[in-house]
Amino acid sequence: MEVHKKEYRPRRIILMRHAESQGNLDKAVYTITPDYKLPLTQQGLDQARLAGDGLRRVVSETGSNPHNWGVYFYVSPYERTRSTLREIGRSFSKNRVIGVREECRIREQDHGNFQVEERMKVIKETRDRYGRFFYRFPEGESLADVYDRVSSFLDTIWRDIDMKRLHRDPSQDLNLIILTHGLTLRVFLMKWFKWTAKQFESLKNPGNCEFRVMQLGDGGDYSLAIHHTEEELRAWGLSPEMIADQQWRATAQRGDWNEKCPWYLDAFFDRLADSDESVANGDEISNTRLSLLPMHARHRLLAGKFCWKILLICSLLYLILSVIVTSTVSSHFQTA
């Protein structure tokens, strides 16, 4: 763990959704109040205070130095996230808070100014038909747009870490806490762990004040499987393959490549040869793979191969005849 300390890497990156807002309670408020101005409910304020106690317990868990830790907050500029942070802050003493930064790139997905309920119902039905990740709301954003700005934010985090802007004490356990929105939180995880758009669709939205803890493993990689149980990951919508990848990351060396991760290669190349020698012996491999195909597909493939061979033979014959004709004509002119 000493190596990672010298690199000033955070011990934890904690992603948290805001507390209950008026918009969670009554969708009609979106028609008269801008999304970014929606306040917390009284229950939301209580949730945030309790969440602050929970966060403090997590970041003060036994580590290499359980008495020397600090927190650095990134917060969305929306009123509901800022209010959540104010209540959470009651659980931390001033000397524990290294810094706070308002970050526009982790705001909620823009659904398009005031949201008329009847119109939004039609829009969301269209989104479901088109595809949730790539559908762009009129005057708003798609999830792909959110992904792009979250990607830019991640680059900023790494620059801040590398340039030691977040803290300068290598003996201190640094905890980054990112106060954001449910959808943005899921997009952050998608980008970090290289999940696909299809995998994103299966993720459950976290409840108000729920958080996800990405903890630094002994090998230098971050994983959800260190702090959270397999049952929790499954309840959040992670597939068995995604859970296995998190468990692998818990002990993986930083920079390692998980060759068993199916969505890295298998999703695109499910029939790659194991080596160059295998490619050289392509006929044998092709025959083996051919036998695995359904009969109609096999006949279609063989017919295609046969046509290709006929075309190749015809091309060669044409080339030979062209050479013969050219030679004959040339000889004729020389004789003349």
The 10s digit of each residue's pLDDT in 132-148 is 999 999 989 999 999 99
pLDDT for res 58: 95
pLDDT confidence tier of residue 223, bands split at 50, 70 and 90: very high
Rounded CA gap, 310 and 304, in Å?
Answer: 10
Using the predicted structure, report yes or no on whether residue 5 has a pLDDT greater than 60: no
**Catalytically annotated residues:** 18, 108
pLDDT for res 169: 78
pLDDT for res 4: 45
pLDDT confidence tier of residue 18, bands split at 50, 70 and 90: very high
Q: Which of 285, 4, 5 shows the shortest CA–CA distance to 169? A: 5
pLDDT confidence tier of residue 318, bands split at 50, 70 and 90: confident
The phi, psi pair for 241, rounded to 5°, reads -65, -40
Rounded CA gap, 286 and 57, in Å?
Answer: 58
The tally of CA atoms less than 13 A away on the side-chain side of residue 203 is: 23
In one letter, which amino acid is 171?
S
For the chain, the residue count is 336
Segments in 60-203 forming alpha helices (H): 79-88, 117-130, 143-162, 182-193, 197-201
Any idea which architecture 2-216 has in CATH?
Answer: 3-Layer(aba) Sandwich (3.40)
Task: Read off the pLDDT of each residue in 5-31 and give the average, rounded to a whole number.
Answer: 90
pLDDT for res 335: 60
Worst-scoring range by mean pLDDT, 76-80, 169-173, 208-212, 326-330?
326-330
Mean pLDDT estimate for the chain: 86
CB atoms within 10 A of CB 65: 12
Is there a contact between 5 and 64 (Cβ–Cβ < 8 Å)? yes
Segments in 60-95 forming alpha helices (H): 79-88
- Which tokens in the block code for residue 149? 């700005």
Q: Do the strands 97-102 and 173-180 form a parallel or antiparallel pair, or are they unpaired?
A: unpaired
Sheet containing 173-180: give its strands across. 97-102, 69-75, 173-180, 12-17, 211-216, 222-223
Angle of helix 282-292 versus helix 295-335 axis, rounded to 10: 140
